[in-house]
Structure 1
Amino acid sequence: MSKEYEISQGSISTIVKDKLEMIPYRMQKGAFLNQKNEKFRMKKARKLLAGTQDGSHLTTLFTDEKIFTVESNKNGQNHPIIATDYQSACEKEKILNKTSHPASVMVFAGITADGKTPLIFVDPGVKGVALSQFSQQKPIMDLPAGRRPRSSCQRDSRVVSRQFSEFISAADWPASSPDLNPMDYAVWIYLTEKVSSKNYPSIKALKTALIKKWDEIDDDYLRAVIDAYPKRLKAVIKAKGGRFENYS
């Protein structure tokens, strides 16, 4: 907009907020929510929020899976290259090679307020194996001894119920709500920013980078991410099941 009207971004912000008394919102991607979806989303958010009153969300194991590729997913607008000329910029990876179907790996992981699982790399073409692999690796989870965290897993409840005394079932979890899963609204974003800023020569190199950055995630970060969970539930309720931009 600033380019269109040849006005600085700061001036645009001042006009929108102070003169028009409006709020600029970031464009977001998300599943469409119709009135029925929003009603159920708000109802389930209320139930989940009630469940946080005893602090159980601090021991809930939030899990998810994500695909990472060996190619960078840099946004050229957000990552400008500073150089004296075009050739120098190219040498600094201004131009990144892209292929139609880059090699990729599926990653499965989970976090609590003070610990995390190992990263689990799911073999290509294999479905429904992540939880089984996770259950086998549970003894080496980076979690305090003696803890039996709840789980937010939505897949294969039989596997989950054998491993955990309590878990948030698919029936209790709001549909189309990645904005409520700490893995989606924080952890995957963090890991992507740390890992996906460059190309990798092989899947092995990508896995090494993922493990390194995953291991660097500390308890302070995890606690802050989980502390945001009840606030986000409240934001959903305030929005009557709709999408939200800010929360407090």
Structure 2
Amino acid sequence: MFSKDQFKSEVVQDWCGTHFSDLISSDDWPPNSPAPYPLEHSVWSVLKKKACSTKHRSLDVPRATTVEAWENSDEGYLRAAVDASRRKISACIRAKGGHFEI
């Protein structure tokens, strides 16, 4: 399977959008993980943004800033992410793994 980030180039997306009417946009493509859990992708992207907002001079610093970002996470955001994930998983189950919309 192709990694989402490798094919996210704006030029490639534009070309594919022009030539393939059924293209799944990079925003709608599922996370790289083989597990169907967008919750992990959603929460991790927020943590990554916070932890990597500045350049780090050693490998220990990103780990520490990631832990700090997790400890300072907005509980309301995490609850909303869990609720959204539950709705998506329930819809997937109802669709028996087929196409569904939220």
TM-score bucket of the superposed structures, by smaller chain: 0.5 to 0.7
How far apart, in 1, do the equivalents of 2:84 and 2:55 lie? 32
Of 170, 180, 190 in structure 1, the residue corresponding to residue 37 of structure 2 is: 180
Cα deviation for residue 231 of structure 1 reads 0.6
Match of 1:63 in 2: none
Matched ranges for 1:99-248 at <5 A = 176-177=34-35, 179-180=36-37, 182=39, 184-242=40-98, 246-247=101-102
Aligned residues: 84
Cα deviation for residue 213 of structure 1 reads 1.4
**What code does the residue aligned with 2:42 have?**
A
Q: Which runs of 5+ in 1 are unaligned?
A: 5-11, 13-21, 32-175
Cα deviation for residue 209 of structure 1 reads 1.5
TM-score, with normalisation over the residues of structure 2? Answer: 0.56
How far apart, in 2, do the equivalents of 1:3 and 1:30 lie? 21
Q: Which has the higher strand share?
A: 1
Query: Structure 2 vs 1, CA of residues 206 and 228 (structure 1 numbering), >3 Å: closer, same or farther?
Result: same
Q: Which has the higher helix share?
A: 2
Once the two structures are superposed, what CA deviation does each residue of 1:130-184 show, in whole Å capped at 9, x if it has no partner?
xxxxxxxxxxxxxxxxxxxxxxxxxxxxxxxxxxxxxxxxxxxxxx32x3263x2
How far apart, in 2, do the equivalents of 1:25 and 1:209 lie? 34
Q: Which runs of 5+ in 2 are unaligned?
A: 1-10
RMSD between aligned alpha carbons? 3.3
Identity %: 25
Match of 1:127 in 2: none
Structure showing greater relative contact order (alpha-carbon pairs closer than 8 Å, 6 or more residues apart):
1
Matched ranges for 1:81-92 at <5 A = none
TM-score, with normalisation over the residues of structure 1? Answer: 0.27
Partner secondary structure for residue 63 of structure 2: helix
Match of 2:5 in 1: none
